Amino acid sequence: MQIHISPDAEVLGDALAQRIVAAIQAKPEAVIGLATGSSPLVAYEAWGRRAAQLGLDQSRVRGFALDEYIGLSPEDPRSYHSVIRHDAVDVVGLDPRLVRVPNGGGAASAADEYDVAIREAGGIDVQILGLGRNGHIGFNEPGTAADSRTHVIDLTAETIADNARFFSSSAEVPTTAITQGLGTILEARELVVIATGSAKAAAVAAALEGPVTEDLPASLLQGHPNVHWFIDDAAATLLTGEYAGRDLEALAY
């Protein structure tokens, strides 16, 4: 596990983007797992800039989003179909026909079909992850089984409250979602996690220095053989062990 800490979120985003671009350079048909949320935005912007500067051929790059709300139309600007298209696909310059988002229509077969699609694509090469305040990754809330596959899940009150900023009120936030499972996520060949802001500090410290437990899904990443964390100073304030005081420039990536 590699931990990269910098006071500058743009530096973190650029460092994370370097890993994605390197993966595409090595494998033009790379499969990238895409996350929504505020923290990954700087990484998408940096990825798009680097790709443009290098004239990188991304015509064969495939993408799979982590999750989607149940009950929102793909055309709804708050749906993750729309968010991924606007925040990632358009910014990075991917072919939208090669990017998939879970079907939020509520059909029971959608979860299994999504896992099959990922396997048929050859699996995820680099999975981008954000981090919830309660330690969730994707929409895998505390208590989700470590070997879970893509599934429908009830969102916690904390997650609904956190996501209310994207809606007119918390009452409008969907209460269920479809998400890649923890087992699905952990099969990615490389995981890159970006967490910024003091609100994430407790979850970062627990995920990196606490016990591995399904009660804090992000702690399960400790067992992955190739995971990189990109954390700003505010999110790193509660680290007390070997990672405290690290900085980006001191670590090879």
Helix (H, G, I), strand (E, B) or coil at 188: coil
| 3-state DSSP helix/strand/coil % of the chain, to nearest 5 | 40, 15, 45
Rounded to whole angstroms, the Cα distance separating 186 from 145 reads 12
Rounded to whole angstroms, the Cα distance separating 127 from 139 reads 14
Rounded to whole angstroms, the Cα distance separating 190 from 47 reads 16
**How many other C-beta atoms can be found within 10 angstroms of the C-beta atom of residue 147?**
11
Burial class (CB in 10 A: 0-12, 13-18, 19+), 82: middle
Alpha helices in 8-59 (DSSP H): 9-26, 41-54
Catalytic positions: 67, 134, 136, 141
Rounded to whole angstroms, the Cα distance separating 29 from 83 reads 23
